[in-house]
Each structure stands twice: as structure tokens, then as C-alpha cells.
Structure 1
Amino acid sequence: MSHPRILSRDEKEKLDKEKNLSDFQRTKLEADAKKNWDLFYKRNADHFFKDRHWLTREFKVIRLLHEEGGGTVFEVGCGVGNTIYPLRGEFPNLFFYGCDLSPRAVDLVKGHLQYDPEKISCFQSDITNPDPPLTQNIPPQSVDLITLIYVLSAIAPEKMSLAIQNIKQVLKPGGVVILRDYGLYDHAMLRFKSGHKIQENFYKRQDGTRAYYFTTEEMAALFENEGFETSFNYYVEKETSNKKEGISVPRIFVQSQFRLRSQSNTS
């Protein structure tokens, strides 16, 4: 699939000149990942991310699950519940699990007025670490649908496959993963100043959180190598306007749906 954006000469020169952070700096960012996301939610609470009402428009599988009589949804990287609560309001017969690296984010989900332990179970977890396993909180192979909304981009590239292996343990054979994440050459990637590049296409923000920018080919390979088949996988192009500054900037995202093959299909 061709990329939707061609860099200008100045943009290409800027990217080519950027140097990677030192091994020490990269190691420290990895070690501080949990702390940095916890500080993010301490500063922003539930006022930063918008509720994702667009999910049911973009991913028909959610409504289909509801119409077939209900099921179980697992929001990985649940933050403050910007996916759980919009879906919970629209599809009351679905059960939701949620996990996040940040304990503070989990507390915010549980403190929400609509939190109902009969319908929502939320817990802290590092999905790049198999110990403790997700199966401590979710029965193995019990989840119908997993959401990964701007989650993989926050993970070091060398740990992405491990994260997919871990979430796969709780997904039913034939279960579905849906995701949206940052696309290569997104405006936010090109705005990073010198000194923020961790490695190729992977950057640190001012607050210490990190962002990776994907191609569709990379995303498909990550999942297909772990036993998934691709339902769809494409770039989403949007224009984000800042009325105060009078500018409009191009945003690029990767939007994908993958289905876990049954054992008989993966052998």
C-alpha cells in the first residue's frame, strides 16, 4: 500500500539529520515508562483525551458483537475509559475489561460515575511483561474483541511482538483486534525538535512518553507473524485545524482489524 504523504526536501533533510538518543537515555525512558504515564494522568486527569464515539462508525464488528447477543471486550491501554464508557453506553449487554500501565489511570476509570463492577473490570498491567500474566485477571481465550487505540505506538518496537503475544492469551480463536495508531510522517512526527529521536520512527515527547509512527506494512507483519489474519489495514488521513493559530495540519493514522486464526489454521 503506497504511503499517502511524500516528504518535501526540507522535511527529508530534517529527518536525515536527526541523531538517536544514547543507550543510557533509551534505557532510562524504558525504565520510566510507567512513571511518566502516571505523571501524565496526574497532570491531565480525564481532561485530555476525547471519548471515542467514532469507533462504532469505523469498526462494524463492535455493533455486530452486540447484535449477536453480547460478548466481552478488552480495552488495552484503557487510560481513563475513553473507549469503555462510550461503548458501554451504546451497547449495555457487552462486558468490558480494561488495563493500563498507569495505576492512576485505572483509579480514574474506577472512580467514574458509570463504573459498574458487574459490567466492567479494570486493572493495572504492563502488557510487555508476561509476569504477572493477563490471565490472572481475564480467563484464557475468553475475550471476543480487543481494542488497541494508540497503544502499540507507546511501546518500544522490540517489545511490540511480546505485547501481542500476551494479549493473544486471552483472545478467543477467531477473536478480533481493532486498532488505530500513528502513521509514518504524521504531522506530530515531523514537529519533533532535534534531540527527541529514540530510534527510527520512534520519538520521546516533552513529558517522557513515547510515540512510534507505523507503516501499514509494519502493522500487518506484527500481527500476521503472531497468527492473525488481516481483515483490513489502511491509512486514515485527516486535517486538524487550530483556529487560534489559523493553521490546518495533516494527520496520518493506521487503522486495522485483525482476526486470530484458529489452531487448525495456524498449524
Structure 2
Amino acid sequence: MSLSKRETLSCDASATQLEEPKEEMSSCVFGQTKTSTAKVLSQEELEQLNGERALVSEFKQMKLEKEAQKNWDLFYKRNTTNFFKDRHWTTREFEELKACREFESQRLVLLEAGCGVGNCIFPLLEDDLSIFVYACDFSPRAVEFVKQNPVYCPERCSAFQCDLTKDDLTENVPADSVDVVTLIFVLSAVHPDKMKLVLENIRKVLKPGGIILFRDYGLYDHAMLRFKSGSKLGENFYVRQDGTRSYFFSKEFLAELFEETGFQSVANDYVLRETVNKKEGLCVPRVFLQSKFTKPGQSQSS
């Protein structure tokens, strides 16, 4: 997915240095397991989480919300296309990208909601010649990087800037036209109060029977436990040093969010993995949430 997207693990690194794609760039992955239960915290980790009760001021929270697009645009200005590694594992992790076809050459229409600079979509376009991709991102700069990529071809990909919380997707994507939506490390960057708006927007363009492939930060991920005092915005919601924000999902919260927006759960599991940063010699326990939801109704191909 856009396991799109998004290691340096120095002792004073901000949590923005601990996101999933950097883990791919750093190193070795030692095992990956799926589980239906949340990670069990040690006593030290519990004390660390419980000790952070003070929230960022309401004034600063409003400022962060207002400047969210600017902060992500600055992120891509600083890092250009070098920050995330291409995600060639997407088709392995989400077999629906191939399995949902009735025949191998069937044209598949995909929307990547939150495409970043295209680390997910370009491997897909190269691997699958029978796919058309709509790709949108909050950051205008990220969208420009997508369009400048030599693999970008308007006949096979349509990239556009979009604030998923308020810009109507049907202005760029026909209603009920998308087979698969990838929502990878994207929803965590949205204020929890606006997450339903994103899903309602996506629902407009997804076909009946279409599927959303979701992957994002799970509850008690290592990055969540490393936030310093003064970073907490709300329950499981934090701000990084660069002003970008991240929410850490429980499977219960995610299931309720999708079900209240009219989707049905197909799969919803924690993914636990350990990675080693070879440069720093650190073992990092990661927790992601990998899920699949469908829009009720019979697909046209059924």
C-alpha cells in the first residue's frame, strides 16, 4: 500500500524518524506476525505512557490543524523523493490487487489516497500493465514529484492534489468507479475528528463490492512510546518535531470508524515485527494495523 510511504534511530531522534518506510531502508526484519490482540506493555512502558498527561495547548492544536498542509509540503521540500523507499511488497501483502480480477488482463482501477511521491504506485504500474491509478495527496509538492517521475503517464495514472477531509474526490474520480483503494500511512496524519470525512469521501468513488486496503501505525508502536513530553495532542495522537501529526490505531477504534461510515470489515489485525537498524545496532519493535474493508453491494463484475 502506500505502505507508501512513510531510520535513523539516534537516541534523540524525533518520532518522525521512526516511520515504517525508513524501517525498510535501514535494515533487517526479524519475523512478522499477525495477531488480533494489542501489544502488551512492560511496566516501564506503562509508566512512560501514563506519565504524559498534559496536552498541547488548544491554541497550538488549532495552529497545527491550520498549517497541516504547509507542514507536509515543507516535509517534501526537505526530503524530496529520497525519504521513502519504493514499496515493492504491496502486492505480496495485499493479494486483492490481483485476486479481485475475473481474468488476468482485466483492467483494474485503483485509488491511492495519500500517494506521497509515488513510492507505491510506480512499482505497481511497472509490475501490472493492466492497472489505472488515481493518485492524490495533501501536498501539492508531492503531487508535482509524482508527475515529474519518468514512469508517470497520463494514460495510466492521474495525479491530483486533494484534501481528503473537504475536497470532493468525485471532481477528479468518477463515482463508483474504483475497484481498490489503498490507504497506507495516511489516515494517521488526519485529526481523529475528521477521519470519518475521509472515509465518506472515499466511499463515493469506490464501487459496490470494492475494497479498501489499509495499513497504518498500531497502538503502542515503538514510535508512539518515544514521543517526548509536550507532544501529546489527545488519546493516541501526537505531534512530531516538524509539525506533522500521527495517530496510533487500535483495531477496535478502526473497526468502529469504518463500520460507522458504511463499510464492512474483511480483516483487521495487528502486524508485529522487529527490525534492526544496522547502523545503530538497535532492535526496534514495530506495531502496525493491517486491515481490509469492503463497500457493501455487488460488484459489477460479479
Given the alignment, which residue of 245, 251, 260 partners 2:286? 251
Amino acid at match of 1:152: L
How many matched pairs? 261
Instruction: Note closer, same or farther for the CA distance 1:169–1:91 as it changes in structure 2 (3 Å cut).
Output: same
Where does residue 203 of structure 1 map in the other structure?
Answer: 238
CA distance in 2 between counterparts of 1:68 and 1:256 reads 26
How much identity, in percent, do the aligned residues show? 55
CA distance in 1 between counterparts of 2:182 and 2:254 reads 15
Amino acid at match of 1:15: L
SS at match of 1:169: helix
Where does residue 178 of structure 2 map in the other structure?
Answer: 143
Where does residue 49 of structure 2 map in the other structure?
Answer: 15
Amino acid at match of 2:65: E
CA distance in 2 between counterparts of 1:211 and 1:3 reads 21
Where does residue 46 of structure 1 map in the other structure?
Answer: 81
CA distance in 1 between counterparts of 2:120 and 2:100 reads 16
Amino acid at match of 2:49: L
Deviation at 1:4, TM superposition (A): 4.1
Deviation at 1:17, TM superposition (A): 1.9
CA distance in 1 between counterparts of 2:146 and 2:121 reads 9
Where does residue 127 of structure 2 map in the other structure?
Answer: 90
Alignment of 1:60-209 (within 5 A): 60-65=95-100, 67=104, 69-129=106-166, 132-209=167-244
CA distance in 1 between counterparts of 2:122 and 2:41 reads 38
Q: TM-score, normalised by structure 1?
A: 0.95
Amino acid at match of 1:52: R
CA distance in 1 between counterparts of 2:185 and 2:43 reads 29
Amino acid at match of 1:109: V
SS at match of 1:227: coil
Larger RCO, structure (CA 8 Å, separation 6 or more):
2
Deviation at 1:55, TM superposition (A): 1.1
Q: TM-score, normalised by structure 2?
A: 0.84
CA distance in 2 between counterparts of 1:123 and 1:164 reads 18
Deviation at 1:27, TM superposition (A): 0.7
CA distance in 2 between counterparts of 1:2 and 1:237 reads 11
SS at match of 1:47: coil
Q: Is the 8 A contact 2:38 2:250 kept in 1?
A: no
- List runs of 5+ in structure 2 lacking aligned partners: 1-34
Amino acid at match of 2:111: F
Deviation at 1:177, TM superposition (A): 0.3
Deviation at 1:3, TM superposition (A): 3.0
